[in-house]
Amino acid sequence: MATLYQGNVPSMAQPADAAGPVIRTIQLSDLHDALKRGWEDFKAVPSHAVILCVIYPVLGLVLARVAMGYSVIPLLFPLAAGFALIGPFAALGLYELSSRRERGEEASAWDAMDVLRSPSFGAMLGLGTLLLALFVTWVATAQAIYVAAFGYEGVTGISDFLKRVLTTPQGWWLIVVGCGVGFLFALAALCISVISFPLMLDRHASAGEAMVTSLRAVAKNPVPMAAWGVIVAALLALGTIPAFLGLAVVIPLLGHATWHLYRKVIVSDPNARHDAPPPRPRKPAADFPANLFPWRNRSE
C-alpha cells in the first residue's frame, strides 16, 4: 500500500537528512486527496466514531457547562475553536487505524487502542499535554478579552450576547482582538503538531524531533499548510452544529486525513521497520474490566 504515495516522490533520489526526515513539497490537490482517503478510512471503520469521538463532543459540552457555571455563553465560541488545538492529540487512535489499513491489515475500533502500546506513546502524551495547556491558556485568554470588553456582567441569553457583540463598539473590538489572538494560538498549534503525532507513531520520534519536523514541513509548504488550517477550522466550525455532535464525524475525518497528509509530506524511510504489535489474544468477557489494563498481566 506504500506505493500509493510514490507519485509524489521527486524523480531524483534524496539523501537522508541528518537533521530529520526528508520533507516533500506538496500542492493544494494533495489536501483534497488526503481528505478523500480520510473519508474512505472513516467509511471502512465507522464504528470507532461512537467509541472514540462521541465522548469528545460530550466532553466539550461538559466543559462548557462547568467552566463558568451558568455564564458559559461567552466561552462557547472559544471552546469550540479550541478543539483545533487539542484535536491532533484526540485523534491518536485514528492515526493507528489508518496506518493499519495502509499496511493491508484488518482494522476495527478496538485496534485503535494499540496506540497505547506504541514505544513513542510517552512522547505523544507529552506533546498532548502541551496542546492541552495551550487550550487552557486560550480559553483563559478569551475570557480575559471578554472581561476587558464588557466587564464581569453576565448575559441573559444568546440573543443578548449576540446583540452586545454585533451591535456595539466593544463587541466589534472583541471580534477583532479575539479572532486575532485566536489565530495566533491556532497557528502555534498547527506549526508544532500538524504532522507530529503521525511521525511519532510511524517512526517513534521524540516529541522534540516531531515538533521540529512539523515546523520544517510548514516552512516548506506555507500555502498548503495555511489552506489545511483553514479547512480544519471550517470543518470544526461545522462540526459544532448541532450542539457539538457533528464533531463525531468531523474528528474522525480530520484524524484519518491527517495521517494521509503526513504520508504526502514526509518521504518514506526505506530502512524503517514497521513491526506490528503482537496479536492481541481474545479475552473472555469474564475478565472485564481487568482486560482494559493489559500491562497488569505482564507480571502474571
Residue for cell digits 530502512? Answer: 271
Is 2 part of a structural domain of the chain?
A: no
What confidence score (pLDDT) does residue 27 get?
93
Q: Give the best-scoring range by mean pLDDT among 58-72, 76-90, 103-117, 176-190.
A: 176-190
Q: What is the pLDDT of residue 17?
A: 47
What pLDDT is recorded for position 299? 45
pLDDT digits (tens, 9 = 90+) for 45-83: 775 555 555 555 555 555 555 554 556 677 778 877 777
CA–CA separation, 54 and 10 (whole Å): 40
Q: Give the structural domain span for 134.
A: 24-268
Lowest-confidence region among 11-15, 181-185, 212-216, 268-272: 11-15
* Residue 143 belongs to a domain: yes
For the chain, percent of residues with pLDDT exceeding 90: 34
One-character DSSP codes across 227-269: HHHHHHHHHHHHHTTTTTTTHHHHHHHHHHHHHHHHHHHBPP-
Average pLDDT, the chain: 78
Establish if 157 belongs to a structural domain.
yes
Confidence class for position 24, pLDDT limits 50, 70, 90: very high
In a domain, 1, yes or no: no
- At 103 the pLDDT is 84
- Mean pLDDT computed over 80-90: 82
pLDDT at res. 297:
46
Q: Is residue 202 part of a domain?
A: yes
The answer to whether residue 6 sits within a structural domain is: no
**Distance, CA of 27 to chain centre:** 21
pLDDT at 193 over 80: yes
109 domain-assigned: yes
Q: Looking at the 3D structure of the chain, how many domains does it have?
A: 1
Q: Round to whole Å and give the CA distance between 131 and 148.
A: 25
- Rounded Cα distance between 208 and 206, Å, is 5
DSSP state of 150: H
Per-residue pLDDT band at 127 (split at 50, 70, 90): very high
Q: What angle do CA 60, 115, 258 make, to 5 degrees?
A: 65
